[in-house]
Structure 1
Amino acid sequence: MEIKTVSIIGLGALGILFGSHLAKKMPKNALRIIADKDRIQRYKETGVFCNGEKCEFNYISPEEKCEPADLLIFTVKYNGLKDAISAAKNHVGENTIIISALNGISSEGIIGETYGMDKILYCVAQGMDAVKEGNQLTYHNMGMLVFGERDPGVVSEKVQSVARFFEKVELPYEAVTDMYKRLWGKLMLNVGVNQTVAVYQGNYGLIQNEGEARDTMIAAMREVMALSEKEGVNLTEADLNYWLSVLATLSPEGKPSMAQDVEAKRFSEVDLFAGTILELGKQYNVATPVNEMLYDRIKLIELQY
């Protein structure tokens, strides 16, 4: 299958980041940004900017009839996923491939409940240091999309199709055969990085250097490692070091999404991170005191909005 049309739903940091890249590489009508009419009006009035350059997007509302997309990319926040699944229905056909760049380990299953797991490729977005303020996105490192089938060792036609397309449009990617483990690895990173930077109210530089914040981050990540053994994923010290090496590539002035949410007094994805870890800890009778502390601290911050 050759991918010719792409639809993106969710114009936050990742939607703008990858959308702006694809908009320069594809015919305008071949890339569609799904948004409700009020959002479209606002985007057109104020503009959407990536590294100071105005994005020329082709917007389409959920009600508009259109041909199904060859590739549908979800880039919404977790609390907007249910509405996004409904809004994207006109873009899903028999041969549509769906990837989700959402954080956590559950979005693929939720999307698959509606559209079928046969359409889903598991995916993580990693290595980007994008910061979004209002309608302005800035980044130094674009990062990449890492994707593959859930079952280890499988390289399907869907995987090959997406890889060929990303190659053609020069979008950084990695197709892997241990995708579920990578998904857990990204959860481990988010649990450590996003929550620690939000609580300590710093930036990537804070946790790239030795000190209390970095120690807290690594301790939270080790709790995810312990739970991964119970889940049969078995994250190791090598996985921890891999993700710390990814962290080391990010701009020290950049900030993860949760820290940006806290600064803007938006409710965060703490339930997706520490909330998930606390639930699994109870399920497997594994102590998770660091994530419990981070969860309580972030909830207290949000209570003061």
Structure 2
Amino acid sequence: MTIKKVSIIGLGALGILFGNYLSKRMPKEDLRIIADKDRIQRYKADNVYCNGEPCHFHYVTPEEGCEPADLLIFAVKFNGLEDAIQAVKHHVDENTIILSLLNGISSETIIGETYGMDKVLYSVAQGMDAVKVENKLTYDHMGMICFGEREPGFNSQKVKTVASFFEKMDVPFEVDPNMYRRQWGKFMLNVGVNQTVAVHKSNYGEVQREGHAQETMISAMREVMALSEKEGVPLTEEDLQYWLQVLSTLSPEGKPSMAQDVEARRLSEVELFAGTVVKLGEKYGVPTPTNNELYRRIKSMESQY
């Protein structure tokens, strides 16, 4: 199988970043951005910008019949996932490969419940420092997409097909033969950096340097480490240092998505981060005081919108 038709749902930071990148390397009709009519009208009227350049996207509504996608990419926020799953139904057939760039550790399973886990590869997007303000995205580091099968130790034909396509498109990527563990590692980083920067109303620079914010971030990450052992994907000190190194490469002026949500007075993905950690902590009897406090503070901030 060769990937020719690609569909993306979600024009947040990752949707714009990778959508714009692919749009410069594919025939316009072969890359479809799925959105409802109102969003499409707004996108066409105001345009969407990536590092100052207008994006030239081919938009389709969920109702439009079309040739199914060879590769379908979910790039929505978690609270929009259920609607997105329904919106992409015309883009999925028995051969479609699905990648989810959502944060957290649950979106693949949720998508698989509707379309079958046999179509889904596990993935994370990492290393980007994209900031989206209204319809404008800016970034210094594009990062990469890491993907693979959930079960460790082998690369399926789906993995090889996506790798071949990304190589052809010159998309930065890494195939990880232990992808579920990688996903837990990214979850650990997100739990620490997203929430800490949001609470401090700051940027990556705040947690890249020594101080209270960095201590809070690492404490929240260590709580995820403790839970990962209970979940059978034990993260180590080496994993913690790896993700801190990834963080150190980002622009100090950049901000994670949750901090951008707080600035824009949007509801955040706190349930996906601290909410998940607190629930797992209760399940396994593991104390999670840092995430309890981050959850409380973010919920308090959101209640004032």
* TM-score of Structure 1 vs Structure 2, range by shorter chain: over 0.9
The answer to whether structure 1 residue 28 and structure 2 residue 36 are counterparts is no
Aligned residue pairs total 305
Q: Distance in 2 between matches of 1:154 and 1:234?
A: 20
Matched letter for residue 118 of structure 1: D
Which digits, 9 at most, give the CA deviation of each residue in 1:281-303, with x for residues without a partner? Answer: 00000000000000000000001
Which digits, 9 at most, give the CA deviation of each residue in 1:113-138, with x for residues without a partner? Answer: 00000000000000000000010000
Q: Distance in 1 between matches of 2:68 and 2:4?
A: 11
Which digits, 9 at most, give the CA deviation of each residue in 1:33-71, with x for residues without a partner? Answer: 000011000000000000000000000000000010000
In the other structure, the counterpart of 2:8 is 8
> Secondary structure of 1:153's partner?
coil
Q: Which runs of 4+ in 1 moved over 6 A?
A: none
Q: Distance in 1 between matches of 2:236 and 2:91?
A: 39
> Secondary structure of 1:197's partner?
helix
Matched letter for residue 135 of structure 1: N
> How far off its partner does 1:140 sit?
0.1
Matched letter for residue 182 of structure 1: R
Q: Distance in 2 between matches of 1:275 and 1:135?
A: 29
Q: Distance in 1 between matches of 2:111 and 2:154?
A: 21
In the other structure, the counterpart of 1:47 is 47
In the other structure, the counterpart of 1:247 is 247
Identity of aligned residues (%): 71
Q: Distance in 1 between matches of 2:138 and 2:290?
A: 31
In the other structure, the counterpart of 2:263 is 263
> How far off its partner does 1:252 sit?
0.2
Over the residues paired in the alignment, what is the CA RMSD in angstroms?
Answer: 0.3
In the other structure, the counterpart of 1:303 is 303
> How far off its partner does 1:20 sit?
0.2
Which digits, 9 at most, give the CA deviation of each residue in 1:64-114, with x for residues without a partner? Answer: 000100000000000000000000000001100000000000000000000
> How far off its partner does 1:160 sit?
0.3
Q: Distance in 2 between matches of 1:259 and 1:220?
A: 16
Q: Distance in 1 between matches of 2:266 and 2:64?
A: 30
Q: Which runs of 5+ in 2 are unaligned?
A: none
Matched letter for residue 285 of structure 1: G
Q: TM-score, normalised by structure 1?
A: 1.00
Matched letter for residue 240 of structure 1: L
Listed as ranges, the matches of 1:1-305 within 5 Å are 1-305=1-305
Matched letter for residue 26 of structure 2: M
> How far off its partner does 1:27 sit?
0.3
> How far off its partner does 1:154 sit?
1.5
Q: Distance in 2 between matches of 1:126 and 1:48?
A: 22
Matched letter for residue 300 of structure 2: L
> Secondary structure of 1:147's partner?
strand
Matched letter for residue 267 of structure 1: L
Matched letter for residue 277 of structure 1: V
Q: Distance in 1 between matches of 2:246 and 2:68?
A: 35
Which digits, 9 at most, give the CA deviation of each residue in 1:178-199, with x for residues without a partner? Answer: 0000010010000000000000
Q: Which runs of 5+ in 1 are unaligned?
A: none
Q: Distance in 1 between matches of 2:288 and 2:154?
A: 33
